Structure 1
Amino acid sequence: MKTRKFKAVSSAVLALALACGAALKPAQAVTVNEPSGINLGGTSFFDALGKYTPGLIYQQYFQIQHFNAINDTNGNAIPVFKNTSITAIVSLNQFIYVSPYHLFGGVLGAMAIVPLVDLNASFAHDSPVRLVANRGMGVGDITWGPFIAFPPVIRGGRPVFAQRMEFDVISPSGSYDTSKDINPSSGFWSINPYWSVTVLPTAKTELSARFNYLHNFTNSQPASSAPLPAGTTTQAGDAGWVNFTASYEVLPKLNVGLNGYYFKQFTDDQVNGVTQKGTETESLAMGPGATYMFNQNNIGFLNVYLPVVKKNTTNGFNVILRYIHAF
């Protein structure tokens, strides 16, 4: 089976540094975002297995995210956001090239992801604080990078272990309006290397995990619906996360199981070079999922993610449909 890198355009994965007065009227509000498009649960079952002969692969991801709260550092809904409703409908187009070249026993390749994002956000008319979205269809940030994929280890005539490593760059190439709080683009560069592994303990069981590291560079033009002082800069903290799955073949070509992700920001955000204490994002989501192999070159996935832990981020559900075609 073939799975590759995914850019989940979490357009509202927000680490909010909000200073609110006693009357719940915002003082200077600076929204510091983790990248708008990172792979939070997009790749799942059989993640490290893929195509090892030269050729092209196309993947289409259709994703619906809906958030009904923005949580604080303790995981509680921030009360100044009343009747939160933030929705992102995302279409991701991923193009993968597997080259004829090899290194250290693995096959070399490269990939690029071009996202299209439709954003909408609304709050109660009497909400003390409201965020403004860059509404409508827009292009998200392009993710691109090289990878090395190692053919699976074979035992007893079947694959039992596979791995892949990739070094991705998230380019601030998407739609970005500095007068809006929520955009398809992050407005800054990031790097996102990862290591993906798949273990097949039996002929019908599968375990996969993708271990990600994220480093964000400075945003010299942070977006905010509230005017910011000239020269304001922000930098989202570094983070790590893992996508994880476990599945079982219940029918020929059909696996069902559990999918999830755990995201942990381990350095605080910065505003004008000053560390903002208590801004680290933590997110755990899990849910049911399934994958069906129509044939060797066409595979479908369904992943549902429900919130378990959400700190300094939006709170809601995420549904992903994915289709892979190998040429």
Structure 2
Amino acid sequence: MKSKKSSGISKVAIAIVLASTSGFTAAQAVTVNEPAGINLGGTSFFDALGKYTPGLIYQQYFQIQHFDSINGDNGNPIPVFKNPSITAIVSLNQFIYVSPYHVLGGVAGVMAIVPITDLNASFAPGSPVALKANRGMGVGDITWGPFLAFPPVIRGGRPVFAQRVEFDVVSPSGSYDTSKDINPSSGFWSINPYWAITVLPTPKTEMSLRVNYLHNFSNTQPASSAPLPAGTTTQAGDAAWANFTASYEILPKLNFGLNGYYFKQFSDDTVDGVIQKGSETESISMGPGATYMFNRDNIGFLNVYLPVLKKNTTSGFNVILRYIHAF
């Protein structure tokens, strides 16, 4: 199934600049975000399979994310953040158009995702550093792009392999308050090409993989609850990641399995062109999932993600409910 999801809250790489004499006398949090519109965990079972005839597809995602830790580059909680609680409730609306045109053997189409996000953040009283959220409901960054979906390879009368390529753009079109550290929008442009494959070794078994690349452009108006010098510019480092699933049909039309993702930032963030050493994000989350096919045009998914490894990012759980309807 086409499965493209944008996250309602940035997976943040946080550079803490501390001026200290005895204890913390001053603290400034400069937040350099990976974009809020990337697919971390939205990929689910049968990812590369989809509709190959002209028409429209609508997908609705409902997502709850709760983070209770902000980890540093060693994977441990950063002590200046005392008892953080960051919650995002997200409604994602994805619109897909499958065209009648074929290019290089694949079916051409376009898609767009419009997220609606409700953010909240709190820290314990007396926390040396407390990030501020752009609270309440707001529109997130719109993700859009063209794709080529290649019809599945058929063996023995059933599909055994399918693939899709897509070139997504994350537009800084959402709600963004430069006086807040956490926003529905990232405030900068990003590009995110990917390749998705699904393999079906047996009639009841599937495995899917989506390999992503991410390039981020500069943010000329970085958000921070602490005053920043005029003209401050930040840029999140480039990254790559893979979403993966494996499932088995335990009952007719019902698959149960494992879903996860591994995200690795391979270049450091920069602030005013200065490399922030040790700012690379690394993240692994995994959990159980299930999908049920009501009929060929209506499918439901449930995916749960729990933290395994979190470096320079928030840590917590993520639950995604998804519904697909093909017209």
Matches within 5 A, 1:28-107: 28-107=28-107
Matches within 5 A, 1:1-327: 2-9=1-8, 11-22=9-20, 23-327=23-327
Q: Contact 1:26/1:129 (CA < 8 Å) preserved in 2? A: no
How many angstroms apart in 2 are the aligned matches of 1:262 and 1:25?
37
- The offset of 1:12, in angstroms, is 3.8
- Unmatched runs of 5 consecutive residues or more in structure 1: none
Q: Secondary structure at the match of 2:201?
A: coil
- Unmatched runs of 5 consecutive residues or more in structure 2: none
How many angstroms apart in 1 are the aligned matches of 2:117 and 2:26?
29
Q: Contact 1:141/1:173 (CA < 8 Å) preserved in 2? A: yes
How many angstroms apart in 1 are the aligned matches of 2:296 and 2:26?
55
Q: Contact 2:3/2:42 (CA < 8 Å) preserved in 1? A: no
- The offset of 1:126, in angstroms, is 0.7
> In structure 2, what residue type is equivalent to 1:31?
T
> In structure 2, what residue type is equivalent to 1:171?
S
| Residue-by-residue CA offset, 1:36-55 (whole Å, 9 max, x unaligned) | 12100102100000000000
- The offset of 1:281, in angstroms, is 0.1
Q: Contact 1:12/1:86 (CA < 8 Å) preserved in 2? A: no
Q: Contact 1:179/1:224 (CA < 8 Å) preserved in 2? A: yes
Tell me which stretches of 4 or more aligned residues in structure 1 moved more than 6 Å: none
Q: Contact 1:95/1:112 (CA < 8 Å) preserved in 2? A: yes
How many angstroms apart in 2 are the aligned matches of 1:138 and 1:313?
22
Q: Secondary structure at the match of 2:50?
A: coil
How many angstroms apart in 2 are the aligned matches of 1:148 and 1:136?
37
Give TM-score scaled by structure 1 length.
0.98
| Residue-by-residue CA offset, 1:122-180 (whole Å, 9 max, x unaligned) | 00111010000000000000000000000000001100000000000000000000000
How many angstroms apart in 2 are the aligned matches of 1:62 and 1:28?
34
Q: Contact 2:67/2:317 (CA < 8 Å) preserved in 1? A: yes
- The offset of 1:248, in angstroms, is 0.2
- The offset of 1:251, in angstroms, is 0.2
- Across the two proteins, how many residue pairs are aligned to each other? 325
| Residue-by-residue CA offset, 1:32-85 (whole Å, 9 max, x unaligned) | 000012100102100000000000000000000000010000000001111100
Give TM-score scaled by structure 2 length.
0.98
Percent of aligned pairs with the same residue? Answer: 80
- The offset of 1:199, in angstroms, is 0.2
- The offset of 1:25, in angstroms, is 4.3
Q: Secondary structure at the match of 2:220?
A: coil
| Residue-by-residue CA offset, 1:276-307 (whole Å, 9 max, x unaligned) | 10000000000000000000000000000000
Q: Secondary structure at the match of 1:24?
A: strand
- The offset of 1:119, in angstroms, is 0.1
> In structure 2, what residue type is equivalent to 1:106?
G
